[in-house]
Amino acid sequence: MVESLSVPTFRVGYSMITDKLDALYKKVKSKGVTKTVLLVKAAAVALTQHPVVNASCRDGKSFSYNSNVNIGVAVALEGGLLTPVLEDANKLDIYLLAQKWRVLLKKARMKQLQPNEYNSGTFTLSNLGMFGLDKFDAILPAGQGAIMAVGASRPTVVADKDGFFSIKSEMLVNVTADHRIIYGADLAAFLQTFAKIVEDPESLTL
């Protein structure tokens, strides 16, 4: 965390409708798939289309593209915080991701994670929406290009392009990024892709 203070970061927020994602979650939660796992998969798919957001700057001078999409997920444990990593999250279906996540969570709670299971992340997701928070900013992990902070889905009055109002569930995502690697346009494009997946998530089950 102290090391991250020397990194020039910037933050971007993006809101998206989660009605279809919520409906998908209701279908798959009986199979052990959590909302966090769905968000990890959506982020992984988006990162494959925007690899600069998955890049790293480890020496402070140059950046490198990561060939793997390894997503760390922030987990609050008694006395601290860990980020177990779902490696190659873009290559695994949501059911296998869920299975791997359960194993990692159990190992984290028993303090049995191996170093490669928590320090190999190329991107991090922090979901405090499950605690009812609307929005927050996350501290960028050292050596990663970006971290996504996910708030809760809230019923919101939304106007369509024709001016008609309806109530939809809306979620705010804030991303903190390393400005040495990622520019505003890069992050905006990534978040637009991520939002499209969240708002039409059937591809996540393929």
Across the chain, what does the average pLDDT equal? 93
120 Cβ neighbours under 8 A, 6+ residues apart: 70, 85, 87
For 134-180, what is each residue's pLDDT tens digit?
A: 899 999 998 899 999 999 999 999 888 888 899 999 999 999 999 99
Residue 116 to residue 86: CA distance in whole angstroms: 10
For 16-65, what is each residue's pLDDT tens digit?
A: 999 999 999 999 999 999 999 999 999 999 999 999 999 998 777 788 99
- Domains detected in the chain: 3-57+68-200 (3.30.559.10)
Q: What is the pTM of this model?
A: 0.93
195 Cβ neighbours under 8 A, 6+ residues apart: 14, 16
Contact 153, 171 (CB under 8 A): yes
205 phi and psi angles, rounded to 5 deg: -90, -5
> What are 155's two structure tokens?
């019923």
What residues are labeled active site? 179
Q: How many CB atoms lie within 10 A of CB 129?
A: 23
Residue 130 to residue 146: CA distance in whole angstroms: 21
- The pLDDT value given to residue 78: 76
pLDDT at residue 4 is higher than 80: no
